[in-house]
């Protein structure tokens, strides 16, 4: 895919100097653009970023966004910069094109892109899909919202490679030409309502994944998710739905505990669902989606099935940490919304001591009420959302406030008895107390391993 604008000698402002901002600045400068980076982070807190930008020879500012941002041919924004900020809205008003890092990276990508999005399961599905391609012998880049900016790897991906990209709604907000060869939409549930005007706006961002696809491309989507299925039925691409409820004539489905691919009117056995190493119905969906994505690129049935048997899951997603005094400790820090916690709670038969809370994103916690009442012996609450969650759950189970993750782990240990599971599954963002969900998960694991 070629750039819709001339990059050489173009003036580009990059908003946000986190990983993706630095990466896209490096990519654009290497292509001959004149790049300027602006970030509101205080200069005294930006030591690493300043070193990286000075090494690149890219001018920058920290602490505030000046009018120099608008002295550009176009602007690239990092996922952490909301599209509705005054700065971005003013840029659009004065006629500047605003695009995301994945949009820019795709301009220089010679390899086919498998792009994966959804409210839940993105990281697991992206990691699993990448593992399948690697096992098939394909040169594979796994990047995007998973933590590695595509811009850092896109020039190394040739036509015989494949780029597997986890894509968030924030990254899709500002795409216009982004066109994956295979697009995967796992599900949509209410999330990030602190950043979107309403739920429909959030869904519309997700649906942008498909907007440039043609009949030569593949759209893989969740048949069991009503809004997703309704939208995708009208797409012009080759549609491959997946379901664990209904038998399908095209795509993939589960029947009597076995996973089948439906191709050209034939049903092809793939694997017994009990053989899939990652457990839970949510991971069954993730596994089927990964299988279809790999199959769309010609990977054989045997390679797909073998990888599903071997893949152990990803860090921070229902990750076993240790067992102590008959109590299992599980890190599910990646569960940053209500739906992810719903799946997590449903994955255990044992009584649960739940550690939850953080930065509330406009959450409606009511879908958790019945599960909490029946499965959770106590909730340890942390962060900005603690008071709100205490009001929501106090009549469902015992609620205990904690001042920090260290305090939460200590109180969870005191509450837990042999046979219980202590589960960190926050339902909230991490930014009130931690750098990101990974930092939160690592801190939880450190504290648990020190018990």
Number of Cβ within 10 Å of residue 356's Cβ equals 28
- With the C-alpha atoms ordered 365, 370, 371, 372, is the resulting torsion angle positive or negative? positive
CB atoms within 10 A of CB 157: 22
Check pLDDT > 80 for residue 162.
yes
Give the relative orientation of helices 19-30 and 47-56 as an angle to the nearest 10 degrees: 10
Q: Is the pLDDT of residue 279 over 90?
A: no
**Where would I find the beta strands (DSSP E) of 121-178?**
139-144, 161-166
Enter the pTM of the model.
Answer: 0.83
Helix (H) or strand (E) holding 357: strand 352-357
**Has residue 249 got a pLDDT over 90?**
yes
The predicted-structure confidence for 25-58, as pLDDT tens digits, reads as follows 999 999 999 999 999 999 998 999 999 999 999 9
CB burial string 262-284: b at 16+ within 10 A, e below: beeeebeebbebeebebebebbb
CA–CA separation, 187 vs 122, rounded Å? Answer: 9
Token pair belonging to 179: 């066109």
- The residue ranges of every structural domain in the chain are 11-95, 103-310, 319-449
Q: For residue 191, name the pLDDT band (cuts at 50, 70, 90).
A: low
Lowest-confidence pick of 164-168, 315-319, 366-370, 445-449: 315-319
Residue with tokens 């599905």: 125
Q: What is the pLDDT of residues 388-426, one digit of tens each?
A: 999 999 999 999 999 999 999 999 999 999 999 999 999
CATH architecture of structural domain 319-449: Alpha-Beta Complex (3.90)
Distance between CA atoms of residues 130 and 171, nearest Å: 20
pLDDT, mean over the chain: 94
Give the residue carrying structure tokens 């000075």: 54
Beta carbons within 10 angstroms of residue 388's beta carbon: 15
Evaluate the CA torsion angle 333, 339, 343, 348 in order and state its sign. positive
290-309: average pLDDT? 98
Options 3.30.565.10, 3.90.1150.10, 3.40.50.720, 3.40.1390.30; CATH for 11-95 is 3.40.50.720
Question: Residue 365: what are its φ and ψ, rounded to 5°?
Answer: -85, 0
pLDDT at 1 over 70: no
Could you give the CA distance from residue 180 to residue 164 in angstroms, rounded to a whole number?
10
- Confidence band, pLDDT 50/70/90 cuts, at residue 147: confident
Q: Is pLDDT of 174 > 70?
A: yes
- Per-residue confidence (pLDDT) for residue 193, from 0 to 100: 65
- In angstroms, the CA 184 to CA 187 distance is 9
Give mean pLDDT, residues 195-199: 79
The residues that bridge with 261 in the sheet, in sequence order, are 252, 268
255 by Cβ neighbours in 10 Å (0-12 / 13-18 / 19+) ranks as: middle
- The string of pLDDT tens digits covering residues 5-15 is 788 889 999 99
Residues 101-107: what's their mean pLDDT? 96
Report the candidate in 351, 367, 346, 371 with the shortest Cα–Cα distance to residue 281. Answer: 346
pLDDT attached to residue 83: 84
Find out whether 428 and 360 touch, Cβ atoms under 8 Å: yes
Q: How far apart are CA 35 and CA 37, in angstroms?
A: 7
Q: Phi and psi at residue 323, in whole multiples of 5°?
A: -120, 130
- Residue 354, C-beta contacts closer than 8 angstroms, at least 6 positions apart: 345, 372, 376, 378, 379, 380, 423, 425
pLDDT at 209 > cutoff 90? yes
On the question of pLDDT at 2 being above 70, the answer is no
Helix runs in 233-360, H state only: 281-296, 301-310, 338-345
pLDDT of residue 333: 96
Distance CA 87, CA 64 (A): 11
DSSP-assigned states of every residue in 335-361: --SHHHHHHHHTT--S-EEEEEESB--
pLDDT at 343: 85
Average pLDDT score over residue span 188-212:
84
Of 2-6, 170-174, 182-186, 446-450, the least confident: 2-6
For 320, the token pair is 């076993």
**What mean pLDDT do residues 83-109 have?**
93
Kindly state the average pLDDT of the residues 158-181. 94
Write down the CATH number for the domain with range 103-310. 3.40.1190.10
Q: Kindly indicate the confidence band of residue 265, based on its pLDDT and cuts at 50, 70 and 90.
A: confident
């Amino acid at each position: 895919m070629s750039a819709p604008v001339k990059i050489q000698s173009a003036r580009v402002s990059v908003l946000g100097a986190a990983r993706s901002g630095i990466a896209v600045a490096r990519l654009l400068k290497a292509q001959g653009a004149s790049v300027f980076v602006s970030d509101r982070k205080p200069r005294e807190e930006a030591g690493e970023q300043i070193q990286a930008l000075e090494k690149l020879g890219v001018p920058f500012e920290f602490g505030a966004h000046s009018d120099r941002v608008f002295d550009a041919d176009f602007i690239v924004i990092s996922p952490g910069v909301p599209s509705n900020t005054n700065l971005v809205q003013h840029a659009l008003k004065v006629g500047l094109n605003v695009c995301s890092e994945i949009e820019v990276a795709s301009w220089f990508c010679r390899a086919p892109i498998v792009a994966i999005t959804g409210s839940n399961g993105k990281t697991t599905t992206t990691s699993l899909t990448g593992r399948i391609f690697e096992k098939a012998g394909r040169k594979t880049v796994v990047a995007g919202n998973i933590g590695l900016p595509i811009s850092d790897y896109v020039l190394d991906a040739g036509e015989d490679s494949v780029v597997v990209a986890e894509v968030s709604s924030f990254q899709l907000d500002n795409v216009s030409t982004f066109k994956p060869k295979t697009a995967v939409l796992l599900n949509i549930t209410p999330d990030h309502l602190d950043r979107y005007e309403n739920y429909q706006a959030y869904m519309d961002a997700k649906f942008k994944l498909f907007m440039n696809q043609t009949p030569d491309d593949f759209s893989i989507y969740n048949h069991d998710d009503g809004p997703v299925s309704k939208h995708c039925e009208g797409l012009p691409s080759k549609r491959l739905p997946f379901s664990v409820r209904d038998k399908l004539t095209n795509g993939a489905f589960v029947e009597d505990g076995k996973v089948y691919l439906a191709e050209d009117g034939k049903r092809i056995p793939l694997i017994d669902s009990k053989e899939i190493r990652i457990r839970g119905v949510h991971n069954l969906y993730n596994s089927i989606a990964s299988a279809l994505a790999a199959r769309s690129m010609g990977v054989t049935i045997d390679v797909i099935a073998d990888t599903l048997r071997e893949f152990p899951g990803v860090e921070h997603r229902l990750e076993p940490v240790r067992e102590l005094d008959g109590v299992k400790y599980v890190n599910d820090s990646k569960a940053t919304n209500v739906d992810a916690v719903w799946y997590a709670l449903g994955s255990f038969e044992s009584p649960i001591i739940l550690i939850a809370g953080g930065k509330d994103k406009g959450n409606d916690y009511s879908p958790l009420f019945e599960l909490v009442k029946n499965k959770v012996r106590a909730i340890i609450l942390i962060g900005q959302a603690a008071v709100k969650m205490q009001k929501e759950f106090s009549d469902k189970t015992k609620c205990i406030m904690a001042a920090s993750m260290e305090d939460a782990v200590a109180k969870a240990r005191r509450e837990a008895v042999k046979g219980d599971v202590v589960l960190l599954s926050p339902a909230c963002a991490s930014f009130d107390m931690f750098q990101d969900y990974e930092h939160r998960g690592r801190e939880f694991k450190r504290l648990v391993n020190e018990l």
